[in-house]
Amino acid sequence: MARGARRSLIRRLFTRKAGSDPEEAGRSESLDVMIAIVLGAAAILTAWGAYQAALSDGNTLAGFQEGNAQYGDANQAYIEGYQQESSDLILFKDYALAKQKGDKKAATFIYDDLMDGTLPKATDQWEADPEGIPSAFEAPAYKIEPYERAKAATAEGDKQYEIASVEDKKGDKYTLATVILAVALFFGGVAGVTRSHLISVMTVVTSAVLVVGSGIYMLTL
C-alpha cells in the first residue's frame, strides 16, 4: 500500500489537468504548489547564504586587521628588544673592562645602578663560570623580554591570518552556493511560466535538486 500511495502522490503531482479553454494546455495544481515551494525555498536559502557570506567576509576583514595589528606590535617589540640588547652589550662590555682593570667602584656602579632585566643574573652566571660561558649573553638566565613579546605577537598574527584565510574560503563557498541557487530560481521561474507541461516538470525537478543540493552543501560549511 505504501508503494501504491507513493505512485498516487506522484501521479497527482505531475498529471496535467485539462484546460478550461481549448487553447490552454492545462496544468497540475499540485505541480504549481511544488513550484511555489521550490521557489520559496530557493529564495530563503539564497538570502541565508548571502548573509553567511557577508558574515564570513566580515570575519575575514577582522582577522586580517587583527593580524596586521599583531605584526605591528611584533615589529615594535623587536625594535625595543634590539635597543635593549645594544644597551646591555655596552653595559656588559664596560662592566667586564672595569672588572679586568680592578675598578670595583665602576663595576659596582654599572652592576647596581645601570644593569636591569636579566642582565645582572646573567652576569653572575658568567662570573661563576667564565670558561664555560663566554659572556653574559650566552648565560641561560639572559632573556630579552621584548623579543619574547615579539614572538608571541608574531604567532598570534599568524593565527589571525590563518583564521582570516579559512573565513575567506568559507565565504567563497557560500557565494558559490548562492550562484547555484540563482540557477535554481531561473529553472523554477521557467517551470512557472512555460506552457509545456513536460518542460515545467523537468525544470521544477531540476530546480528542486539544485535547491536541496545547495542547502545540504551550505549546512556542511
Q: Where are the domains of the chain?
A: 47-219
The more confident residue out of 178 and 197 is: 178
Q: State the alpha helices, DSSP H only, in the chain.
A: 2-14, 29-101, 104-109, 119-128, 145-193, 197-219
Task: Name the pLDDT band for 8 (thresholds 50, 70, 90).
Answer: low
- CA 177 to CA 216: how far, in whole Å? 10
Whether pTM exceeds 0.85: no
Q: What pLDDT is stored for residue 23 in this prediction?
A: 43
Q: What pLDDT is stored for residue 130 in this prediction?
A: 85
Cell numbers for 72: 605591528
Which is nearest to 36 in space by CA: 9, 13, 12, 7?
Answer: 13
In tens, the pLDDT along 37-70 reads 999 999 999 999 999 999 999 999 999 999 999 9
**Count of CA atoms in the C-beta half-sphere (13 A) of 90:** 6
**143-147 long-range Cβ contacts below 8 angstroms, 24+ apart:** 143/117, 143/118, 144/81, 144/84, 144/85, 144/88, 144/117, 144/118, 145/81, 145/84, 145/117, 145/118, 146/77, 146/78, 146/80, 146/81, 146/84, 147/77, 147/78, 147/81
Task: Name the pLDDT band for 12 (thresholds 50, 70, 90).
Answer: low
For residue 143, is pLDDT > 90?
yes
- CA 13 to CA 8: how far, in whole Å? 9
- CA 127 to CA 121: how far, in whole Å? 10
Cell numbers for 202: 523537468
The more confident residue out of 7 and 150 is: 150
- CA 53 to CA 156: how far, in whole Å? 25
Contacts of 126 (CB under 8 A, 6+ apart): 133, 135, 136, 138, 139
